[in-house]
Amino acid sequence: MTKERVDVNSIDWKNVLPLYVQDDKILSGKWGPCPFCTGSSTFRVVWERRGKGGSGWYCAKCGTGADLVSLIHEVTGKPLPELYDELREKRYNQGRAPTTFIPKIPTRPEKSPEEQRATLRNTWESSLPFTEDSPVWKYLSHRVPGLRIEWLGPDVRYHPGLTYRNSDGKYKGRFPVMLQRLVAGGDKLARTLQRLYLTPEGQKVPFVDEKGKSAAKKQMPSPDGPAGGSTRLNNAVSRTLALTEGSETGFAVVAKHENKIEVRSMLDCGNLSRADIDWCRYDTIFIYADRDREQEKRALKGEDGEGGVIKIRPGEYHAGILAEKLRTMGKRVIVIASVQEGVDFCDIWKLQYERRAQRLAERAVRQQEKERLRQQAQEFRRAA
């Protein structure tokens, strides 16, 4: 007898997977520990795979990803032929209880909200102001030319040594950190702290994530995340406010305006669109939008999209959401979009600054040359 093949992609996995695997994270489709490797938050189930159809899994650490039969096989240990028989005959797990998933690396217990708040407070209280010879200032002044230390605002501080662990929880050492506090309107305490880990020489620490990208920046665990909180990067007070996603872009705006306008950074575009700021203090708001690569996004009500999907550039999209909200509040809003993909204002400022420095240097050289010729002419005159 020839067995008909099982069309794995036609299975209603949202209802079938729970009959085999018991685990809240896996079944929710959120990032969590990987059943195949030691990644602690690198794995997730994708209920609707783009392009391939059906459901599957993806892990940023061990790579490939496949359909959910391989996941059930890994977690339950059930031989594949038996599994395929059950799926074909719809005798899912033969009515037995699902297997509880046990990660290869035990996850550390999460701190309670109170413990998280206490850690945020202690970390901030044990930090120091920037000093000229600190690794944080070495880093920042190199990254953002023209910036001055006396312009720095109340929400950026220097921590001489915080523990760095990679995503598997492995201890990597203690490093100097640039701390960025995100405070929401009406709050005194930080919603969360952003850490940028540096070497004593003022370079980003060389650690990378599962995708090979720099993992020098880490957000501290907090009960609500950034929740619209912002970082006041400079000490200027003005009726004009500039908002940026990242702090480096923000510091570049401070340098460009020579600390004449208040600048806040929002961490990322999602948090930018939720900005929770005391808006009555400002009349004009500049929003610097990063130009990210185009992404697909599920269309919301009122948004036109083919098959319920629209293409957006996240930075510009989220800046637009905030701009619209502020305009209905009667504010003057100017969205400043980067023209080149992947190039933010910090990169542009660096170029502008270098060109300006070059122009000044060239002018100085021309001046010197003129002076030399003038003196030469004088000497000739004297000799004649």
Candidates 13, 21, 26, 39: give the one binding Zn ion (CB under 5 A): 39
The letter for the amino acid at 354 is: E
Report the side by side order of strands in the sheet with 262-265: 231-232, 262-265, 240-244, 284-289, 332-337
- Shortest approach of Zn ion to residue 64 CB, angstroms? 9
- Shortest approach of Zn ion to residue 48 CB, angstroms? 21
Nearest to 197 by CA among 225, 252, 159: 159
- Shortest approach of Zn ion to residue 199 CB, angstroms? 29
> In the complex with Zn ion, which residue's Cβ is closer, 104 or 298?
104
Q: Point out which span in 13-21, 37-45, 159-167, 312-320 binds Zn ion (CB under 5 A).
A: 37-45
Binding letters toward Zn ion, positions 55-74, x by CB under 5 A: ----x-xx------------
CA atoms of 234 and 251, how far apart (whole Å):
8
> In the complex with Zn ion, which residue's Cβ is closer, 35 or 176?
35
3-state helix, strand, coil in the chain (%, to 5): 35, 25, 40
Q: Point out which span in 29-37, 166-174, 291-299, 376-384 binds Zn ion (CB under 5 A).
A: 29-37
How many other CB atoms sit within 10 Å of the CB of residue 341?
Answer: 11
Q: What letter does residue 87 receive in the DSSP assignment?
A: H
- Shortest approach of Zn ion to residue 91 CB, angstroms? 30
> In the complex with Zn ion, which residue's Cβ is closer, 40 or 127?
40
How many other CB atoms sit within 10 Å of the CB of residue 194?
Answer: 24
Kind of pairing between the strands at 192-197 and 231-232: unpaired
> In the complex with Zn ion, which residue's Cβ is closer, 34 or 190?
34
Binding letters toward Zn ion, positions 79-118, x by CB under 5 A: ----------------------------------------
- Shortest approach of Zn ion to residue 33 CB, angstroms? 9
In order, the DSSP letters of 310-347 are EEE-HHHHHHHHHHHHHHHTT-EEEEEE-SSTT--HHH
Using the rule CB under 5 A, is 37 a contact of Zn ion? yes
Are residues 199 and 178 in contact, defined by beta-carbon separation less than 8 angstroms? no
Kind of pairing between the strands at 284-289 and 309-312: unpaired
Using the rule CB under 5 A, is 34 a contact of Zn ion? yes
How many other CB atoms sit within 10 Å of the CB of residue 6?
Answer: 17
Number of residues that bind Zn ion (CB under 5 A): 7
> In the complex with Zn ion, which residue's Cβ is closer, 57 or 137?
57
CA atoms of 154 and 231, how far apart (whole Å):
8
Using the rule CB under 5 A, is 20 a contact of Zn ion? no
Q: Report how far apart, in Å, the C-alpha atoms of 205 and of each of 93, 137, 138, 166 are.
A: 48, 15, 14, 11
- Shortest approach of Zn ion to residue 59 CB, angstroms? 3
Using the rule CB under 5 A, is 46 a contact of Zn ion? no
> In the complex with Zn ion, which residue's Cβ is closer, 169 or 308?
169
End-to-end CA separation in angstroms for the chain? 117
- Shortest approach of Zn ion to residue 56 CB, angstroms? 13
The residues that bridge with 297 in the sheet, in sequence order, are 310
- Shortest approach of Zn ion to residue 41 CB, angstroms? 11
- Shortest approach of Zn ion to residue 38 CB, angstroms? 8
Using the rule CB under 5 A, is 321 a contact of Zn ion? no
CA atoms of 327 and 342, how far apart (whole Å):
27
Q: What letter does residue 186 receive in the DSSP assignment?
A: T
Q: Point out which span in 54-62, 166-174, 221-229, 309-317 binds Zn ion (CB under 5 A).
A: 54-62
Q: Point out which span in 30-38, 86-94, 314-322, 370-378 binds Zn ion (CB under 5 A).
A: 30-38
Candidates 13, 20, 36, 164: give the one binding Zn ion (CB under 5 A): 36
Which helix (H) or strand (E) segment is 371 a member of?
A: helix 345-383
**Which residues here bind Zn ion, judged by CB under 5 A?**
34, 36-37, 39, 59, 61-62
